[in-house]
A and B are shown apart, each in its own frame.
Chain A
């Protein structure tokens, strides 16, 4: 899957907010690409835009292209998009509590996708549902399929979400904070499950998270977003060992570590800019520790540092040219 120059705007009473501003992503089969960033940086909006799940009235998604399997998803009519969504492209949402329909049995919710996309008969679909539930490690799958979402714990519901997303063997899975609402021991189970399914089916995963620990464990490539833009992109080892952008550096330094004892945590002063009032030059300049005068005026480009490492900082850009 390839996304080129994605822009998403929202119409709000206070003006037009550009939540995502020119994102390029390339997702390779069987790989996991992580998107990290703090709340409000546009990571979830990116995923919803790709899936075409934003309300049409208030939002405007534009892009040079969102190519999936050679087809441009953005130009597709809604009817055709429905054929792909949930079939070849699936999504896991953050809140396992609210993203399942409380009035339908779990089995029926998963079977819906099978019946719609794969034209399965009801009994056949039900068999597949039980098989899927077993695959994601749910005990007593026959009985659980007949239960309602409120009867399950958070971890179990997230497994159901994964079963639902994997039902039609999608080639791309977008996971939006799949473990944020879960406890660490359950999170470890779910991440293991995602890794296992990926190895078996060769699914490409776009993992959206704010947790750098999850990224380090799961991803091959990482994209760091700030205020609607990509500020740094690299392979996971490169990013953690050799971060270039001051924001990435700050983010890594502000984490309390489990291994050593720190006397003080580094922190990034200030806060994320208001999306209605984005700084003119570099968007990170007001919080940057090594800000130069020209940062307020010049918009940095995403500079290519080689080996799939990109960074949006004037310092990198000048080194590059």
Chain B
């Protein structure tokens, strides 16, 4: 199957300005040359720690944040070149589900109004059909049509996230960016929402990009996983391969650091020393070398190349 989304060399630098004239004195390289493809109907999971640029990547693809550089090809259309009005219309194809279900719904709007907005903006539908569509959307995400007249505060976190998903589905998009969709939810609710996301994917043949810090969530729902560190992608492979044989030292450390809910499990934990470096002045060479136990001389002076080490398994590390 061909790729639905092709991203190459995506960059987003946030300028650091100082002084009364706002002179640019540096840049935070939030995303620094990230490339990947997502095939239709598949899910790319992006994992990494806070500040690694995973959310910025997601938003830059939708151009909710203007990328500094890079190409985003969606079904052959170059999203990064679209003019504002074209972009607005194009948004029907790509949607997003936000992390915080408490902050992403307008508290003064009823659910009806929240779900109607995208439909009214983008589709010319008769009044009755809009109502039907909203009722239908609520049912699809496991709520009932009578919920439409309520306000967001009347719902629990899990239900709000369902509403967030319904809003993203309103325009029948092909691609949805899910930015930490379950990290604000309790485990028993989290599993409900994850199951729902899977069902919807099958039902509407959706393509997801899932951004999460939780490896087990990513493993459950993704077909392909990319690991990010300090604005760069360090490893990208199919979920099966990545979890069977992680290659990058950071991927290995990340996986071993996750607490396993099994007291009998024996594991060799790799505990990284130190903190994530400041992204406004990342270390030279491989950005991970300051915390890597296997770093050589070359790691501190030369940035490793992004290469395909085996089919569909990409890596940026001098060791391989």
Provide the residues of chain A in CB contact with B240, threshold 8 Å: 261
Say whether B188 contacts A267, CB under 8 Å: yes
Nearest Cβ distance between residue A204 and chain B, in whole angstroms? 19
Say whether A217 contacts B260, CB under 8 Å: yes
Say whether A153 contacts B257, CB under 8 Å: no
CB contact list, A225-271 vs B, under 8 A: 236-237, 240-241, 250-252, 254-259, 261-262, 264-269, 271
Nearest Cβ distance between residue A24 and chain B, in whole angstroms? 23
Say whether B219 contacts A258, CB under 8 Å: yes
Instruction: Pick out which of these stretches binds chain A: B56-64, B92-100, B264-272.
Output: B264-272
Known: A38-B187, A255-B187, A267-B188. A185 touches B257 (CB 8 A): yes
Nearest CB to that of B186 among chain A residues?
Answer: A38
Say whether A38 contacts B188, CB under 8 Å: yes
Q: B194: CB under 8 A from chain A?
A: yes
Nearest Cβ distance between residue B286 and chain A, in whole angstroms? 17
Q: Looking at the complex, which one of B191, B217, B258 makes contact with A267 (CB distance below 8 Å)? A: B191
Q: How far is the CA of A240 from the CA of B258 in the complex (A)?
A: 17
Q: How far is the CA of A216 from the CA of B267 in the complex (A)?
A: 13
Provide the residues of chain A in CB contact with B195, threshold 8 Å: 264-265, 267
Say whether A256 contacts B259, CB under 8 Å: no
Provide the residues of chain B in CB contact with A183, threshold 8 Å: 49-50, 213, 276
Known: A210-B187, A262-B220. A189 touches B272 (CB 8 A): yes
Nearest Cβ distance between residue A271 and chain B, in whole angstroms? 5
What count of chain A residues pass the 8 Å CB interface test? Answer: 47
Q: A39: CB under 8 A from chain B?
A: yes
Say whether B259 contacts A185, CB under 8 Å: no
Provide the residues of chain A in CB contact with B262, threshold 8 Å: 216, 240
Q: How far is the CA of A212 from the CA of B260 in the complex (A)?
A: 8
Nearest Cβ distance between residue B35 and chain A, in whole angstroms? 24
Nearest CB to that of B291 among chain A residues?
Answer: A185
Known: A156-B275, A187-B257, A258-B243. A240 touches B263 (CB 8 A): yes
Q: Looking at the complex, which one of A251, A254, A258 makes contact with B255 (CB distance below 8 Å)? A: A258
Nearest CB to that of B158 among chain A residues?
Answer: A271
Q: A186: CB under 8 A from chain B?
A: yes
Known: A185-B272, A186-B275. A212 touches B261 (CB 8 A): yes
Q: B82: CB under 8 A from chain A?
A: no
Say whether B49 contacts A254, CB under 8 Å: no
Q: How far is the CA of A156 from the CA of B215 in the complex (A)?
A: 23
Provide the residues of chain B in CB contact with A268, threshold 8 Å: 188
Top 3 A-B pairs ranked by shortest CB distance? A213-B259, A265-B191, A183-B49
Please name 17 pairs of A and B residues whose Cβ atoms are closer than 8 Å in the assembled complex, sorted by A: A183-B50, A184-B258, A188-B257, A216-B259, A216-B262, A217-B259, A217-B260, A236-B263, A237-B263, A250-B188, A256-B216, A256-B219, A258-B216, A258-B258, A267-B191, A269-B192, A271-B189
The residues of A with any CB-CB pair to B shorter than 8 Å are: 38-39, 139, 153-156, 183-189, 191-192, 210-217, 236-237, 240-241, 250-252, 254-259, 261-262, 264-269, 271-272
